[in-house]
Amino acid sequence: MKGAGGKSARVLVVAGEASADRYGAELVRRLGALPGNGNLRFYGAGGDAMQAAGVELLCHVRELGHIGPREALTGLRTYFRTFKLLLRASAAEPPRVAVLLDFPEFNLRLAKRMKRLGIPVVYYISPQIWAWRGGRIRTIRECVDRMLVILPFEEAYYRARGVEAEFVGHPLLEVSPGPDRFPALPPEPERRTVALLPGSRRREVDHILPTLLLAGCELMKRVPVRFLVSAAPTVDAGQIERIVEKTLGGREGRSHFHILTRSSRDIIAGADFAFVKSGTSTLEAALAGVPFLTMYKISRLSWLAGSLLIRGGTKGLVNLIAGERIVPELFQDQASPEALARVALRYLESPAESAAMRDRLRGVRQMLGAHRASERAAAAVNGFL
């Protein structure tokens, strides 16, 4: 598609973490494949998946892996540098449209500046303002031309508040787990398999992985288990290895913890139970139909600050979608290794409880709809080109 002056049109795409990188990559592929879009050029911030899809990255998501008000201070320089790079590139050669994926602390600020430049903004994967920081609706209403939501209740929420919103379905429904069950691992038929998913940001992993590893040690005291430790593409696998060695050291059973760099969906699909950091990975567990618990830990200061802004007693995404408590939630002080192990043991030792959760998770999958999210999102973005 040609822009003014015969130049190929540009599209800004910004993702700040691993799952959004995957969704952004698929959106870029679908958008570029639409008739007349062969000359589109994509640039922005993202990860390996977006880069492989043809996006010129001005910043990699690994550089944006900070969480919480305290932790983010250590990455402010990177945030500001990335922000300025994106603005400078967009002002010098304005894109036809800016596609912003989740990452609200950064992307809502960027949306304001895009609007000042006269660039339309499509926001794909909504900030969860229905759960916390609802005051951001004013910024969204003023700066976002189209909100593409992936949870079924979000469309009505935004439309009731004056935002043009469309439910496109969840992009996780487009992804199927791999066919094999980790053939590279030594066979251990006498052991159950538990997946450990500590997150896709460096600081999350620092806070969460040691607790999950110690929970695994507690669990092994009661039942034979092997563990699949997920190393997200946005986290250095060496960081995972260092935490595993520091936490487990010479502990008995260390050889039963396996670090894997495959997709989290594949890792979950190969497990009998999973410990999952609160976030998108909980939906991957739900879609895989694997019993799991959701947990979260962060620095005490960040937790206290965030708790003041969160509404409602239920924080887990799957439970919010279902409107009921399907998945056990253990957050902050509740998420001790002993408590996590007790919950996992209950499901590993009770086929009836595991089967009941699997049945209820199938209901969550049905609630997410059958839309092809990337196709519908690409069609919506194409309307701005």
Phi, psi of 321 (to 5 degrees): -65, -45
> Is 15 within 8 Å of 3 (Cβ atoms)?
no
* Confidence at 382, pLDDT banded by 50, 70, 90: very high
pLDDT at 182: 55
At residue 67, what are phi and psi to the nearest 5 degrees? -135, 155
Written as one string, the DSSP assignment of 183-213 is TTSPP-TTSEEEEEE--SSHHHHHHHHHHHH
Confidence of residue 2 (pLDDT cuts 50, 70, 90): very low
Closest CA to 146 of 367, 375, 382: 382
DSSP-H helix ranges across the chain: 18-33, 48-52, 76-92, 104-116, 137-143, 154-159, 202-220, 237-248, 264-269, 280-288, 300-307, 317-322, 337-349, 351-367, 373-382
146 versus 183: the higher-pLDDT residue is: 146
pLDDT in the model for residue 3: 43
| Cβ contacts of 152 within 8 Å, gap of 6 or more | 167, 321, 367, 368, 369
269: pLDDT strictly greater than 70: yes
- Taken in order of first residue, the domains within the chain and their CATH numbers are 4-170+370-382 (3.40.50.2000), 192-367 (3.40.50.2000)
Do the beta carbons of residue 318 and residue 81 sit within 8 Å? no
Strand arrangement of the beta sheet that strand 55-60 belongs to: 55-60, 41-46, 10-15, 97-101, 121-124, 146-149, 165-167
The answer, yes or no, to whether residue 315 has pLDDT greater than 90, is: no
Q: What is the mean pLDDT of the chain?
A: 87
Question: Using CA atoms, how far apart are residues 68 and 262, in angstroms rounded to an integer?
Answer: 27
User: Is the separation of the CB atoms in 27 and 124 below 8 Å?
Assistant: yes
As a whole number of angstroms, the distance between CA 253 and CA 235 comes to 25
Mean pLDDT along residues 132-153: 89
Instruction: Count CB neighbours of 303 within 10 A.
Output: 17
pLDDT for 74 equals: 55
Q: Look at residue 99 and tell me whether its pLDDT is greater than 90.
A: yes
Query: Is the pLDDT reported for residue 181 higher than 70?
Result: no
Look at 152 and 334; give whichever has higher pLDDT: 334
pLDDT in tens, 278-307: 888 898 899 889 999 999 988 677 656 555
Q: Is the pLDDT of residue 359 over 70?
A: yes
How much is the pLDDT for 61? 85
* Beta strand pairing call for 192-197 and 225-230: parallel
Sign of CA pseudo-dihedral 139, 165, 162, 96: positive
Mean pLDDT, residues 113-120 taken together: 97
